[in-house]
Amino acid sequence: MEIMVFFSLLLLVCSVSTNPTEADNEIVDQQISNQQPCPQDIHAVLREMAVSLAEQKIEIRTLKQDNQEHVTKLERQMTELERQKAEIEHLKQQSKVKQVAFSASLLEGGNGYTGPFNVQITLVFRRVITNIGNAYNPQTGIFIAPVRGAYHFEWHLHGHAYKSHPIAGVLFRNGEHIFLAFELQASGTVSTSCGTSLLLEPGDQVSLRLWAHARIFDGVNHDTNFSGHLLFTV
Ligand SMILES: *[C@@H]1O[C@H](CO)[C@@H](O)[C@H](O)[C@H]1NC(C)=O
């Protein structure tokens, strides 16, 4: 703005000096003689200004470029930060999912027999001691693997000897019979146990079924129980 005003004033002085009116002839003559070097000055000033303008233009362009580079760099850093944030979140979720362990005994309270039945039934271990990761469902008795990995399971069954009713329970992975813990005795109290390590895919279901015609007992000692945990992800 200041430059423009200064520039206009110079032009005005110049036009006055080159286009004198007849009425002011004498004064103008005087002015012309006084301001003889004006055109040269203006040209010099204009040249200087043009040079300075060009320099400023270059400087602005450089600054713009610098600025653009900074913006690009910042954007790249922001993207990298976002990526790292997402990765941390993912790792957090993964480490949470890696914590899987449950332990439960058959009856919620009191004592009593379960069985015999003519067919296998899924045993629902209702007294939950530990259920980290909630992979075991105490309403259905079914454990669902949250991640691919090696899992260890063990089950202990207790009962009283009876000629036609074994103490027996079989571990199933989805529809597949894995291992059977079985004991049949003529007298006394009977216990049977079994354990296994399984490679499970996410969503695989593991449960314990009472063997057909088997009869088991659970009481204050919680002698019929089922436990499992994730050993490691694969
Ligand atoms: C599970 O039952 C067995 C007997 O069948 C018993 O020896 C063991 O102590 C029980 N485990 C727990 C944690 O109660």
Q: What string of pLDDT tens digits covers the 234 residues of the chain? A: 455 544 444 444 444 445 555 655 665 555 555 555 567 788 898 999 999 999 999 999 999 999 999 999 999 999 999 999 999 988 887 777 789 999 999 999 999 999 999 999 999 999 999 999 999 999 999 999 999 999 999 999 999 998 899 999 999 999 999 999 999 998 999 999 999 999 999 999 999 999 999 999 999 999 999 999 999 999
Q: What is the predicted pLDDT for the residue at 15?
A: 47
CA dihedral 187, 189, 195, 201 (to 10 degrees): 100
d(CA 193, CA 168): 9
Q: Which of 128, 183, 221 to mutate to test the pocket of ligand 1 (most atoms within 8 A of CB)?
A: 221
* φ, ψ for residue 206, nearest 5 deg: -125, 130
Q: CB of 165 closer than 6 A to ligand 1?
A: no
Phi, psi of 213 (to 5 degrees): 70, 0
For residue 5 the two structure tokens come to 């005003």
Question: Probe ligand 1: pick from 130, 156, 160, max atoms within 8 Å of CB?
Answer: 156
Write down the pLDDT at residue 92: 83
The whole-model pTM stands at 0.66
Specify the pLDDT at position 10. 47
Cα 230 to ligand 1 centroid, rounded to whole Å: 20
Distance CA(17)–CA(38), nearest Å, equals: 9
Name the closest-CA residue to atom 4, ligand 1: 223
Q: Find the 16 Cα to ligand 1 centroid distance in Å.
A: 115
How many angstroms separate the CA atoms of 111 and 221, rounded?
Answer: 9
How many angstroms separate the alpha carbon of residue 97 from the centre of ligand 1?
27
Ligand 1 in reach of 158 Cβ (< 6 A): yes
Give the pLDDT score at 42: 86
Contact indicator for 155, 169 with CB cutoff of 8 Å: yes
Measured CA to CA, the distance from residue 109 to residue 191 in angstroms comes to: 20
CA-based nearest residue to 177, from 126, 224, 233, 120 = 120
How many whole angstroms from 184 Cα to the centroid of ligand 1? 19
Cα dihedral 120, 126, 127, 130 sign: positive
Residue 97 is predicted with a pLDDT of 75
Pocket test for ligand 1, best of 193, 223, 226 (most atoms within 8 A of CB): 223
Q: Distance, CA 224 to ligand 1 centroid (Å)?
A: 6
